[in-house]
C-alpha cells in the first residue's frame, strides 16, 4: 500500500464508488419523492371516497330519524351506537341539528357553505348533502380525523431490478478505468526508477525514455533533467577512468627506466648508499604494484570479456593459503584451511586467484598477532561459498560495504600505515561480479571480520 500506483488506484477507485453511490441515492430519492406524494394523494382520495359513502348512508339514516322522531336526540343516540368517526347532522343552511357539535366542525361547515376557507386546515372536512324522506335537504359532516398510521409515510424501499448486477458491473468498470488511469500516471515514475536503478548498478548509459510532445508535464521534465544529470555523470566518470588508465600507462615507462637506473646506481656507488637504494627499490615496487592494480581495476570496470576455463577451486584455495601462510609466518601469524570441498568452476583462474589472494592478505594484515586467518570452502545450493575470517578489530557496521570501493580506507586501524594500496578489495568485488557472484563482509559476534564470496557453479 506504499507505492504511488496503489495509492492512486485505491483513491480513484474508492472516490468513484463513493461518489457513484451518493449520486445514486440522491437520484433515487429525487425520483422517490413524487412517488411518495402520489401515494399520499391516493390514500387521501380513497379515504375521502370511503368516508363520503359511509357519511351518505349515515346522514340519510339520521335525516330519516330526525323527521320521524322530530327531535335531534335520536341522532345523538344513533351516534352513540355506531362505531367510527363522529358524524353530525346540519340543516341545509348550516344550523346544527345534532347536539353540541365541535365548534371547529360547525365553523368549517359554515365556511364551506359560504365558499371560503376550503384550503385552510379547519376547512378540510368531509361533508355531503343528504335528503330526508320528506325531500328536505340536510348536511352530514364529519369532524377532521387523522389519517391512518401509514398515511404520509413513504412506501417501503424496494431496490431497482438487477440492482446488485448493476453494482457489480459498476465496480468492475470503475476499477478497470481507475487502474488504467493510475498505471498511466505512474508510468513516468516507474521509468525514472528503472533508469535510476540502472545508473546505481553501474550502467552509465541508463536513460529515461521521455516524450518531446509532453513538454511542460512535470514528470516528463523530471525525466529530462535526470537524463541530463546521468549524461554529465557518465562524462565525468569516463573522463576519470580514462585519466587513471592513461596515467597508469604513462607511468610504466619512467618506472622501468627508474629500475634500470637503480641497478646501475647499485653497481657504481659505495656500500654506504645501499640503504637509500633499498628504500628507492621498495617504493618503486609499491608504485609498480599500484599501477598494475589500477590497470587491472580499469580493465574490470570496462566489463570486457576475459579468458575462461575450468578451475579446481579446492586446489586454488590450497595454493593461495600456502603462499599467504609463508608470508604471514614472518609476522607471527598463520593462514590455514578449516574445511574444503571438491568443486570446479568455469572462470578466469588468474583473476580469481588474485581476488582470493587480496582478501586473504588483507585479513593477514589486520588479524592479531599469534592468531590465524581461517579459510573455508563449501558447496551451497548451486554455488561455491568461500569464507575468509580474521581475528582483527573488525570494521564499523556502517562501512562494511564501503571497504569494496577503490582507495577507501577505514579510519585508525586501517590507514595508510598498513602499506596497502586500497584497491585490492575493489578488484575482488569487480572480479566476483564479473563471474556472476557476490562478495560481502560482516563482523562476527565473537570478534573479527569475515568476508564471504559466493560464486555460481
Tell me which residues are annotated as active site: 249
What lies within 8 Å, CB to CB, of 401 at 6+ separation is 440, 441
Question: Which residues share a beta bridge with 288?
Answer: none
Nearest to 196 by CA among 235, 236, 223: 223
CA-CA distance, 341 to 316, in Å (whole number)?
12
Cα 254 to its chain centre, rounded Å, is 59
Question: Which residues share a beta bridge with 311?
Answer: 345
Burial of residue 326 (number of CB atoms within 10 Å: 0-12, 13-18, 19+): exposed
CB atoms within 10 A of CB 185: 15
3 state SS of 452: strand
Burial of residue 407 (number of CB atoms within 10 Å: 0-12, 13-18, 19+): exposed
CA-CA distance, 318 to 271, in Å (whole number)?
41
3 state SS of 444: coil
The 8-class DSSP code of residue 414 comes to G
What lies within 8 Å, CB to CB, of 265 at 6+ separation is 273, 277
The position carrying cell 346540519 is 90
Nearest to 311 by CA among 348, 337, 339, 342: 348
Amino acid at each position: 500500500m506504499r507505492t504511488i500506483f496503489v495509492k492512486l488506484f485505491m483513491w480513484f477507485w474508492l472516490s468513484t464508488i463513493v461518489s457513484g453511490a451518493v449520486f445514486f441515492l440522491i437520484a433515487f430519492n429525487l425520483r422517490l419523492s413524487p412517488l411518495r406524494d402520489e401515494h399520499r394523494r391516493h390514500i387521501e382520495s380513497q379515504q375521502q371516497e370511503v368516508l363520503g359513502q359511509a357519511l351518505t348512508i349515515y346522514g340519510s339514516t339520521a335525516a330519516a330519524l330526525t323527521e320521524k322522531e322530530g327531535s335531534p336526540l335520536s341522532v345523538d343516540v344513533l351516534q352513540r351506537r355506531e362505531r367510527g368517526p363522529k358524524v353530525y347532522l346540519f340543516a341545509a343552511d348550516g344550523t346544527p341539528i345534532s347536539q353540541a357539535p365541535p365548534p371547529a366542525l360547525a365553523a368549517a361547515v359554515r365556511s364551506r357553505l359560504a365558499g371560503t376557507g376550503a384550503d385552510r386546515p379547519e376547512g378540510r372536512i368531509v361533508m355531503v348533502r343528504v335528503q330526508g324522506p320528506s325531500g328536505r335537504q340536510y348536511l352530514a359532516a364529519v369532524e377532521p380525523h387523522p389519517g391512518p398510521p401509514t398515511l404520509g409515510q413513504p412506501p417501503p424501499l424496494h431496490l431497482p431490478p438487477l440492482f446488485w448486477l448493476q453494482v457489480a458491473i459498476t465496480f468492475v468498470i470503475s476499477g478497470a478505468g481507475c487502474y488504467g488511469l493510475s498505471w498511466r500516471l505512474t508510468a513516468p515514475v516507474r521509468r525514472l526508477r528503472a533508469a535510476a536503478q540502472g545508473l546505481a548498478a553501474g550502467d552509465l548509459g541508463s536513460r529515461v525514455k521521455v516524450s518531446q510532445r509532453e513538454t511542460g508535464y512535470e514528470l516528463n521534465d523530471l525525466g529530462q533533467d535526470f537524463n541530463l544529470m546521468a549524461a554529465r555523470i557518465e562524462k565525468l566518470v569516463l573522463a576519470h577512468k580514462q585519466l587513471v588508465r592513461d596515467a597508469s600507462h604513462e607511468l610504466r615507462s619512467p618506472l622501468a627506466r627508474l629500475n634500470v637506473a637503480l641497478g646501475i646506481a647499485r653497481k657504481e656507488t659505495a656500500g654506504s648508499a645501499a640503504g637509500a637504494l633499498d628504500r628507492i627499490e621498495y617504493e618503486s615496487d609499491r608504485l609498480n604494484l599500484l599501477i598494475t592494480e589500477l590497470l587491472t581495476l580499469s580493465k574490470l570496470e570496462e566489463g570486457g570479456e576475459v579468458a575462461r576455463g575450468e578451475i579446481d577451486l579446492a586446489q586454488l584455495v590450497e595454493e593461495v593459503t600456502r603462499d599467504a601462510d609463508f608470508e604471514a609466518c614472518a609476522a607471527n601469524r598463520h593462514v590455514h584451511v578449516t574445511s574444503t570441498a571438491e568443486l570446479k568452476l568455469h572462470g578466469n583462474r588468474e583473476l580469481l586467484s588474485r581476488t582470493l589472494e587480496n582478501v586473504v592478505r588483507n585479513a593477514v594484515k589486520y588479524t592479531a598477532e599469534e592468531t590465524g586467518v581461517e579459510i573455508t570452502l563449501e558447496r551451497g545450493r548451486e554455488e561455491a561459498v568461500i569464507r575468509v575470517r580474521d581475528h582483527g578489530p573488525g570494521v564499523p557496521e556502517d562501512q562494511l560495504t564501503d571497504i569494496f570501493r577503490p582507495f577507501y580506507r577505514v579510519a585508525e586501524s586501517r590507514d595508510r600505515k598498513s602499506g596497502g594500496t586500497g584497491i585490492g578489495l575493489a578488484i575482488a568485488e569487480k572480479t566476483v561480479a564479473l563471474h556472476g557472484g557476490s562478495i560481502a563482509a560482516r563482523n562476527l559476534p565473537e570478534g573479527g571480520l569475515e568476508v564471504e564470496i559466493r560464486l555460481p557453479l
